[in-house]
Amino acid sequence: MNVRDQSLHAGRALSVYGETISSRLLLGTAGYPSPAILTSAVKASGAEIVTVSLRREAAGGKAGERFLDIIKDLGVRVLPNTAGCRTPGEAIATAQMARELFGTDWIKLEVIGNDDTLQPDVFGLVEAAGTLSRDGFKVLPYTTEDLSVAERLQRAGCQVIMPWGAPIGSGRGLANVHALTSLRAYFPDVTLIIDAGIGAPSHAALAMELGYDAVLLNTAVAKAADPVKMAAAFASAIQSGRLGYEAGLIPPRDMAVPSTPVAGTPFFDLD
């Protein structure tokens, strides 16, 4: 077994609503230059879950049907999302339509509260999550890094929490590392997936080094000069970050610590 295989199989596997997923990279499907590049990027990423916007596909007519055929041919799990929804009622209705169209009770729940930052409306998010969970949905909510919101989402029935790293499409990486570290420590047994704001493979590696279970991204791959190569880069970064986390990172220090101690070491006077 080579290093790459070891990183894929090391430690606790990713569990999403009781299902074991091998890849810790979830990939969005919007904004790619062509269907062929999308197909190649998904394959290069090794992703087993891809997100799809119901609104885009429903409005796409024949193009939407061809897109769904492409996704089906990839043999991956489709995670519909409620992108663009501004109210709980709108998100709930969209999720219900997605269940009929895609034949899945998994839903990436988005309720947007601000048009400039695309920050989640956490109040509407919790309301919609509770309603959908009671209706049998397996909800993966896009939220902030706020601890109290995560607690409420858990009580609403969410077994997976997806805090943002930074605003959608911003490419800023993990804007609030301290809060994300606290969230991971506070929910050690909950599946936590960083969603949004990732711009570089190093951002994804850091998320994994913090102990996050997976990363969901779209723009950083779809808008890259070479989406296929970038997808492979993210796959490698996530594997490396996870392996580093499982190996046990040394804690940061304020002062230098010699790797070769001098105590008990013989000294020779050459004069």
Catalytic residue numbers read 108
3-state secondary structure 52-113: EEHHHHHCCCHHHHHHHHHHHHHCCEEEEECCCCCCHHHHHHHHHHHHHHHCCCEEEECCEC
As given in the structure block, the two tokens for residue 7 are 């990183």
Say how far apart CA 233 and CA 227 lie, in whole Å.
Answer: 10
Tell me the binding residues: 169, 196-197, 218-219
Tell me the binding residues for 1-deoxy-D-xylulose 5-phosphate: 169, 196-197, 218-219
Q: Which H or E run contains 203?
A: helix 201-209
Say how far apart CA 111 and CA 84 lie, in whole Å.
Answer: 7
Calculate Rg over the CA atoms of the chain: 21
CA dihedral (164, 169, 170, 171) in degrees, to 10, reads: 90
Say how far apart CA 120 and CA 12 lie, in whole Å.
Answer: 30
